[in-house]
Structure 1
Amino acid sequence: MPRPAHAARWIVAGAVFGALAVGLGAFGTHTLRTRLSPHDLETWRTAVRYLQTHALALVGAGLFVPPHPRARRLADVAGATMVAGTILFAGAVAVLAVGGPRWLGAVAPVGGTLLIAGWIALAAAAWTSFRNGPRGSDATCPSPDGTPQDASEAPR
């Protein structure tokens, strides 16, 4: 099945988050290590870990293109909530680590809640896809030459 163009946005977001995580991790190790307290440095590292973890999750969400329409929508919800949650959570935690305004402490739980929702949506997408097959009861899939065939006849 060809990958829908919209799925690429989650791969791109994951790749950008991955690059940011590497850069911010290096910045923390080489620059902030001598400028932050051990507690604040660990807070910084927490932000970077969440950024790394959800970078990989977003790439996975982009690669997982379920054939079932409802599962595709759920995978998109997963990607969108993970992007928003990562920005809010990792962003707030990182800014707090370097002495940002304390009110950002109230933003991090919102981001964390969105991350949890993203993981649940991804699980629901997978469950829906595997439970309902390619298109529910209308299960067809392309043959090696691209022509539709009954899913039960597909090579395994």
Structure 2
Amino acid sequence: MLLKKYIGIGAIVAGLAVAFGAFGAHSLKETLSEHYLEVFETGVRYQMYHGLGLLLVALLSDRLPSATKLMRWSARLLLIGTVLFSGSLYILSLSSTDWLGAITPLGGVAFLAGWACVAIAAFKGGRDAA
């Protein structure tokens, strides 16, 4: 498995999303305003999506051997996107520091680039997967 370390990383990212979600639901419900709790939950949701995405990219990497570099970049970008997007939302919601919202779109761009790498890898390496 070419990207097997991303299976572990994806599992950690998804597991932390569960922990953060439970923390938000049980500990922050009484502390944060409804708006900031929603912001926190958005971070959790996108972290889970992209933790699962990391697992998917790692598992698909063997099916697309001619596109290993693209799949590796996809995994990196999904991880960077998670840190920037979800991380900025967590800090924003916990600190009420609204300027951190300016960082969140950078994470979104990393997500888009990561998924674009998967799409390109599929079209480029798809003939190897048959």
Give me the TM-score of the superposition, normalised by structure 1.
0.78
Task: Give me the whole-angstrom Cα distance separating, in 2, the residues matched to 1:74 and 1:28.
Answer: 35
Of the two structures, which has the highest relative contact order with CA contacts closer than 8 Å and spacing of 6 or more? 2
Task: Please tell me whether Structure 1 or Structure 2 has the larger radius of gyration of its CA atoms.
Answer: 1
Q: Which residue of 2 aligns with 1:68?
A: 65
2:80 equivalent to 1:84 = yes
Q: Deviations over 1:40-61 (max 9, x none)?
A: 1111100000000000000000
Task: Give me the whole-angstrom Cα distance separating, in 1, the residues matched to 2:51 and 2:9.
Answer: 7
Q: Which has the higher helix share?
A: 2
Q: Which residue of 1 aligns with 2:101?
A: 105
Task: Give me the whole-angstrom Cα distance separating, in 1, the residues matched to 2:77 and 2:55.
Answer: 14
Q: How far is 1:127 from its partner? A: 1.4
Unaligned stretches of 5+ residues in structure 2: none
Q: Deviations over 1:90-135 (max 9, x none)?
A: 00011111125333111111111000100111111111111x426x
2:122 equivalent to 1:126 = yes
Give me the TM-score of the superposition, normalised by structure 2.
0.92
Root mean square deviation, CA, Å:
1.5
Q: Which residue of 2 aligns with 1:8?
A: 4
Percent identity between the aligned chains?
A: 36
Task: Give me the whole-angstrom Cα distance separating, in 2, the residues matched to 1:133 and 1:115.
Answer: 25
Count of matched residue positions in the alignment of Structure 1 and Structure 2: 129
Q: Which has the higher strand share?
A: 1
Unaligned stretches of 5+ residues in structure 1: 135-150, 152-156
